[in-house]
Amino acid sequence: MKNIVILISGGGSNMAAIVKTAQQQNWADKLGARVAAVLSNKADAKGLALAQAQGIPTAVLDHKNFETREAFDQALMQLIDAQDPQGRPDLVVLAGFMRILTLGFVDHYAGRLLNIHPSLLPAFTGLHTHRRAIEAGCKFAGATVHQVTAELDHGPILAQAVVPVLPEDDEHTLAARVLTQEHRIYPEVIAHLLSSK
């Protein structure tokens, strides 16, 4: 069985979309794959309850309990790898995991570490993407699924979805329109990667 470990920090809507797609498309039988665990750096992340309701194992590793970013990432790697019998999950999926990862972590999961970003990369890396897109006068915005590398939001692009920026949009309405596309393309990319493994 190919094991997917999903990392979240909040509501987990992208995680929920991945889990729902995995169930609807029967990834277990068709792709030999499953969401093995959902892990969070925040105990109050609402997505943990969503995962538990689907019978998916969850765990919390609070970054505040570690003196350095490196120490946290080392402990997180051990927790992630423990979710796979061979100690090597097929995919580690960042779904609203609000941590900047160390080079050692990124290298450990090279080629297996995915993220989704709410802009059309390489535009608007980092935070406040929707506000910045509106302020820049963009006619289009969107989301990008990419492999994670050491440089923030700069890894190889695997898929993008485009939405219009409407004249009446604020950052909240634009974010909601982009999010519907995130929920579509992230599971698609994961299924494609699993089918080629």
172 catalytic, yes or no? no
Catalytic residue among 117, 130, 146, 183: 117
Which residues, 6 or more positions from 117, have their beta carbon under 8 angstroms from its beta carbon?
Answer: 125, 129, 143, 144, 146, 153
CA torsion, points 145, 103, 97, 117, in degrees to nearest 10?
A: -30
Name the residues annotated as catalytic. Answer: 117
